[in-house]
């Protein structure tokens, strides 16, 4: 997940107008990878760490927020990435690449910090 996030950030480090079609599609792919990995991590931590049986990834995220493991701003950013997954996979023709670009540039640093903290929690370091 960290490598996919790093690559998405790397691609979006240049101005949007300079991105090739291949780079825009690569950003989409890496967001899907991040969303899938984040979903797996959230479900695992809610089940194993909190003993909760979440019905959805968003339910798992809420449980982690309620347990004090996710801040409100991180919750908002994580919800955005999780919700973006379905349109990227199932409605890819309707996706606004500029919005995705802006999201990666604005939200990913916060999201990466959340992931590192949750990984530390999973290892028993928090």
Domains, the chain, in order of start with CATH, read 2-122 (1.20.120.330)
CA-to-CA distance for 27 and 96, rounded, in angstroms?
12
C-alpha dist (Å) from residue 102 to 54, 55, 79, 92, 97: 30, 30, 16, 17, 9
Q: Which of 40-44, 101-105, 122-126 has the lowest mean pLDDT?
A: 122-126
pLDDT in tens, 23-47: 999 999 999 999 999 999 999 999 9
Helix, strand or coil, per DSSP, at residue 97: helix
Token code pair at residue 124: 């028993």
Cβ(58)–Cβ(73) below 8 Å: no
pTM check: above 0.95: no
Question: Within 13 Å of residue 34, how many CA atoms lie on the same side as its CB?
Answer: 32
Nearest to 2 by CA among 23, 24, 40, 30: 30
Q: What is the pLDDT of residue 22?
A: 95
User: How sure is the predictor about 89, in pLDDT bands with cuts at 50, 70 and 90?
Assistant: confident
Question: Within 13 Å of residue 80, how many CA atoms lie on the same side as its CB?
Answer: 16
Token code pair at residue 88: 């990227």
Q: In which residue are the tokens 């990913």 written?
A: 108
């Amino acid at each position: 997940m960290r490598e996919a996030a790093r690559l998405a950030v790397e691609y979006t480090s240049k101005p949007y107008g300079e991105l090739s079609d291949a780079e825009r599609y690569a950003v989409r792919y890496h967001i899907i990878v991040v969303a899938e990995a984040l979903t797996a991590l959230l479900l695992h931590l809610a089940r194993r760490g909190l003993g909760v049986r979440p019905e959805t990834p968003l339910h798992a995220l809420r449980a982690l927020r309620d347990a004090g493991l996710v801040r409100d701003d991180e919750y908002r950013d994580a919800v955005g990435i999780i919700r973006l997954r379905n349109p990227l996979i199932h409605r890819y023709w309707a996706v606004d690449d500029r919005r995705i670009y802006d999201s990666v540039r604005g939200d990913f640093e916060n999201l990466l910090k959340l992931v590192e903290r949750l990984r530390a929690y999973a290892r028993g370091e928090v």
